[in-house]
Amino acid sequence: MRQLIAGNWKMHGRLADAAGFAAAVKNAPAWADLLICPPATLIDRFAAALAGSPVSLGGQDCHALPQGAHTGDISAAMLAEAGASHVILGHSERRVDHGENNAIVRAKAEAAIAAGLIPIICVGETEAEREAGEAEHVVRSQLLHSLPPGFAGVVAYEPVWAIGSGRTPTEDDVAAMHTAIRAALVAQLGAAGGNVRILYGGSVKPGNAGALLALPEVGGALVGGASLSATDFLAIASAAPRG
Ligand code: 13P
């Protein structure tokens, strides 16, 4: 399966950044699927700038309900209408900053699927949980409670302590966790669990992407800081194994 290289811009990016980035990636030769998740305000602009390009767009969150009195929130259908095909859900920054638990993430995933979006559900342990030997247990529990039945989206393994820190788990630890996630997905979803792409996220850079993307059960990357540079994003994409 082709890998998926996804950029999560978080709360970065203004109109001029979107225009420059879109121009740089629009016609880039890629042997991986490319996805950019800018702030919601830029999706529509990106969609226009990327018309005819295979690069896809995603949101960074959506509400669990289709509409209503929820000031500041955005629905899955709104993201889809703006040009998104994917939405990141349950990122650790949302789980921490906005108190999102597994049940909320699951409800959001159901809303995303109902609106025709592909959810990218984030899981990952804190440093304390890893040090306590709890990492796989924590991630399995997040999968069990965050993924709706029949889930056919994407999972992103993002160890919380690796995000924005410049630190990554060892290659052995990434391989072990992705293998454990695959086993959990198959146990939970049956054969369909074998088709879910499992992205690695957390301090992915051009310099470490090749090694990380070559590991067993790594189906791509969810890139934060390095995705703000089109040069770095494309360098990471070009490190994906050609399958
Ligand atoms: P960094 O690549 O900046 O560590 O962020 C990872 C991330 O949180 C992507 O969702």
Domain segments of the chain: what residues? 4-238
Q: How far is the CA of 13 from the centre of ligand 1 (A)?
A: 15
- Tens digits of residue pLDDT in 142-189: 999 999 999 999 999 999 999 999 999 999 999 999 999 999 999 999
Of 88, 95, 163, the residue with max ligand 1 atoms within 8 A of its CB, to mutate for a pocket test, comes to 163
CB count within 10 Å of CB 11 equals 7
Tell me which residue of 162, 145, 154 sits closest to 117, measured CA to CA.
Answer: 154
- Looking from the CA of residue 164, the nearest atom of ligand 1 is 4
Query: How close is the Cα of 69 to the center of ligand 1, in Å?
Result: 31
Tens of pLDDT, residues 15-36: 999 999 999 999 987 789 999 9
Protein residues with CB under 6 Å of any ligand 1 atom: 8, 91, 158, 163-164, 201-204, 222-226
Question: With helix as H, strand as E and coil as C, how does 192-218 read?
Answer: HHHCCEEEEECCCCHHHHHHHHCCCCC
* Confidence band, pLDDT 50/70/90 cuts, at residue 1: confident
* Average pLDDT estimate for 125-149: 98
Is 91 annotated in the active site?
yes
Domain boundaries 4-238, corresponding CATH code? 3.20.20.70
Q: Quick one: average pLDDT of 61-90?
A: 98
pLDDT tops 90 at residue 211: yes
Which position has the token pair 């409800």?
Answer: 107
Residues above pLDDT 70, as percent of the chain: 100
Label residues 132-154 b or e (16+ Cβ within 10 Å = b): eeebbebbbebbeebbbeebebb
Distance 8 CA to ligand 1 centre (A): 7
| Ligand 1: residue whose CA is nearest its atom 7 | 224
Q: Which of 93, 100, 158, 217 is catalytic?
A: 158
Of 95, 223, 236, best ligand 1 pocket probe by most atoms within 8 Å of the beta carbon: 223
How far apart CA 42 and CA 11 sit, in angstroms, is 11
Which mutation among 203, 205, 233 tests ligand 1's pocket best, with the greatest number of atoms within 8 A of CB?
203
- Is the confidence at residue 230, as pLDDT, over 90? yes
Q: Which residue has its alpha carbon closest to ligand 1 atom 5? A: 224
What per-residue confidence (pLDDT) applies to 242? 85
pLDDT score for 243? 66
Q: What is the pLDDT of residue 28?
A: 87
